Chains A and B, each alone.
Chain A
């Protein structure tokens, strides 16, 4: 390559600068294929920067890094800001984790040379506290950044929860204050708190569009209300049920607020043995849906059977329902009665009584239902087929465990899959476990 470099020096006396780059763009093929000089050979080392950049964009980081030590020009391209807009820091302790880890030298290089260029950043950490702390340390150093997207992802146990609140808050503050253009933040399972939210809002209220903060136990209803009041461009929000309030729904429905597209609510017992949950007034839901008629309202329930009493006693505009543990028959009955906007329903487990009536009511009244999944429940074949018949082709997704289905006088399992396929208009089978 040394020879090539010499060639570069001879043919292009002035070393490339970004202005030259722009000039070259206008005769893209000319310089690369030497239209000007038909006898000059094509030489990898003398490709213009933007061509090398384009090629580098197809290479994984590891290969790019290797390529960067080939020659000075390639090294220059390697450090062009365009290649450093997006980065995912993978932090894990090799002794206990499967995750590959971003090399500490690379992390240092990024902080030193590219902190300013980072716009879309995520941190993927394993279940050790050290990894979460390392993530916070990196965050604290991103002082001159203008980050648009930030994601903190725990791949296993929520290790950010073991970081001290103060350390975590100060790391976040650095980014919240300096970015001033944050649009998307995913910080589920972290010690995020109200003061940090205030800082976020104070600096990014114009740009914030997405905020996912499920399972952040230090956030209060007031904290999220502050976000809704100030961030009028917010389109997606994920939080836990205990911080959902009538005031929040109304704030999200104010005139100044854009249409919300996606609201995810996790319903979990915050304290062991908690059976009481507050209710949201129907008027609040009505106002909310009136303001954002296309909004997806997604609810994840992780409760035990006795804990569902507060829910769906009145019409509720939920669109996606997931029951991660058992759900009572009565609750499923209420869903049929009160959830006309329902699109997707997944039930992990129920009791030993067949759910025929509840399913048929859901088919009748939830006219928008297109996806259904049933785990450890009981349904007679006849009931199930009637359900599918009523839904017809609108059920684009249907998943049921074979052992859920109880054969009866009319249908056996073998005929059932043919009947269901007929009504759905495609080949369908239940989920099966091997018999051997």
Chain B
């Protein structure tokens, strides 16, 4: 019996390597490709800023266009998802719903509800994993049923697993011809809405456009730029460019416009062919593996995106200071390095990972001692590649709440930027008010004399704020707080700590166990007295 199928796009907004869609086409006499735009559901799951709405709508438009070219169409149906499914299953006599398997709790719940509907209304549900490199269950199994909690351990488990799942073959026009498209006229009814239809503010100038086509083009450009595809020559561009990346790919992975598996195998082929030539930097494949790591931990850790009730996260009494949070969020900290970063983030929706490290450290353990959850929400709203597990995981990392334990390394908001970009090009671009300061002062303009400030056309305190904290004082104070927390919650910190290879960590362990030895030498006492 051939099905009448609704294929539900959630993430996975692409046609290449789409296992669920392929399965739908192979098993059906008619396929309705549907995207349910349930605004209430989406905004309750994650904050979505204007830039990401634009990116999403562009991706949907691109998907629609690609489907049309293959003789099908995309139906964007607005409304509460359960009602939408219920209505259309009945209207179109649906016998099967296919969708991507996703690991976020809100998506899991959605799938469970749809399955319940399936029981009730008599349709089957088929979900296939397409968003991660490996089958997460296998990783958990190999690690004894729990997620590996350190990146090194994770890499070790992967080395045992071997290669990731291979991408499925590309869809062709034939696949679509073998089953009927949806009725004519439906596409008109359910077209991709415009931003104005959804009352989203018009787009500001962002260099990122959403969609599978754009993503694939960037991918080719990325590999070509680096010269690997053509002639395996050394990369010409500085890998650590802070300026908007013309070849960055993270938002496309996070929305599923690009398949991580396809990209992984593409890179592996390059490695295989280029044995003695220079290779793409590890950061390319590394980015995929970090993503996989956080996905894996998130899938098996309750309350992963919160501090309370999160077993791997240090419970820290962060300060509640709405005014200071606001200044960080709106690029008014008085530290040009931080403010330039937050400005680029708001204007374009993407910042380099070093910039993310600096901004996150400043907000949390470095200077302001404000909760990483607040920072995570801001990034969620503003970042194009905001992703449930990756965003939370990185914020816990950068605030040293989990995974990262060298808390004495606090990034200095002056020195870190200067080391990355000594002439301050980045600052001059995003904070034009400061562009006339000589490089000597641009990272700490308050140190310039009144005369020099006049010359630069910017008086600190009037045209640009004074620094909101004394970094040395704040960071020293925070170091003490962090030290105390770690004393108290030693066991939690140990959960996500890799100490086998770090002499300092081993020393700490030795010191702790030294105490243990003398304890054992005394009467057979308990640890807790």
Contact = CB atoms under 8 A, between A and B. Distances in A.
Interface of A: 57-62, 82-83, 85-88, 97-99, 119-120, 126-127, 149, 155-157, 184, 322, 344-346, 371-373, 375-376, 397-399, 402, 407, 409, 412-415, 427-429, 431-436
B504 interface: yes
Contacts of A346: 503-504
Contacts of A126: 484
Size bracket of the B interface: 35 or more
A396 to B, nearest CB: 9
Interface in B53-107: none
Contacts of A60: 526-529
A434 B529 contact: no
B271 interface: yes
B155 interface: yes
Interface stretch (B10-18, B172-180, B278-286, B426-434): B278-286
A431 to B, nearest CB: 7
Given A155-B484, A399-B503, A407-B281, A436 B390 contact: yes
Max chain B C-beta neighbours (<10 A), residue from A60, A98, A436: A436
Contacts, number: 128
B526 A435 contact: no
A123 to B, nearest CB: 13
Interface stretch (B127-135, B184-192, B437-445, B517-525): B517-525
Contact of B523 (A57, A98, A155, A415): A57
A219 B500 CA distance: 37
Contact of B526 (A59, A156, A373): A59
B152 A412 contact: no
Interface in B227-258: 250
19 contacts: A85-B523, A85-B525, A86-B522, A120-B519, A149-B518, A155-B484, A157-B480, A375-B409, A398-B501, A402-B282, A407-B281, A412-B281, A413-B281, A415-B279, A432-B151, A433-B357, A433-B397, A436-B356, A436-B394
B524 A57 contact: yes
Contacts of A98: 317, 484-485, 488
B487 A412 contact: no
Contact of B503 (A149, A373, A427): A373
B519 A322 contact: no
Nearest to A375: B409
Nearest to A102: B529
A99 B487 contact: yes
A169 B500 CA distance: 42
A429 B526 contact: no
B287 A427 contact: no
Nearest to A376: B409
B502 A435 contact: no
Contact of B481 (A83, A120, A156, A399): A156
Interface in B327-384: 353, 356-357
B506 interface: yes
A372 B152 CA distance: 18
B503 A372 contact: yes
B501 A399 contact: yes
Contacts of A344: 503, 507
Contacts of B488: 98-99
Contact of B290 (A88, A372, A376, A436): A436
Contacts of A87: 529
Interface in B248-294: 250, 271, 278-279, 281-283, 285-287, 290-291, 293-294
A387 to B, nearest CB: 15
A82 B526 CA distance: 12
B141 to A, nearest CB: 20
Q: Give the top 8 A-B pairs by smallest Cβ distance, nearest first.
A: A60-B528, A371-B503, A399-B502, A413-B282, A156-B480, A156-B484, A434-B290, A397-B503
Given A61-B528, A322-B504, A399-B501, A436 B385 contact: yes
B217 interface: no
Contacts of A156: 480-481, 483-484
A345 to B, nearest CB: 8
Given A427-B156, A436-B290, A414 B279 contact: yes
B211 interface: no
A397 B506 contact: yes
Interface of B: 151-152, 155-156, 159, 250, 271, 278-279, 281-283, 285-287, 290-291, 293-294, 317, 353, 356-357, 385, 390, 393-394, 397, 404, 406, 409, 480-481, 483-485, 487-488, 498, 500-507, 518-519, 522-529
B519 A412 contact: no
Contacts of B156: 427
Nearest to B316: A98
A60 B525 CA distance: 9
B260 to A, nearest CB: 13
| Most chain B CB neighbours (cut-off 10 Å) among A85, A409, A435 | A435
Given A373-B503, A436-B287, A429 B155 contact: yes
Given A98-B484, A119-B522, A155-B484, A436 B504 contact: no
B503 A432 contact: no
A415 B287 CA distance: 17
Contacts of A57: 523-526
A433 B403 CA distance: 10
Given A156-B481, A375-B409, A434-B151, 5 more contacts: A62-B528, A98-B317, A149-B518, A156-B484, A427-B156
A61 B528 CA distance: 6
B279 A412 contact: yes
Nearest to B235: A407
Nearest to B480: A156
B152 A434 contact: no
A376 B410 CA distance: 12
B275 to A, nearest CB: 10
Nearest to B506: A397
A431 B403 CA distance: 11
B326 to A, nearest CB: 25
Contacts of A345: 503
Contact of B501 (A85, A412, A428, A435): A428
Nearest to B278: A412
A85 B282 contact: no
B529 A88 contact: yes
B278 A409 contact: yes
Contact of B502 (A82, A155, A373, A432): A373
Nearest to A54: B524
Contacts of A375: 406, 409
Nearest to B503: A371
Of A372, A375, A399, A402, the most chain B CB neighbours within 10 A belong to A399
A346 B409 CA distance: 14
A40 B214 CA distance: 86
Nearest to B391: A436
A84 to B, nearest CB: 9
A373 B393 contact: no
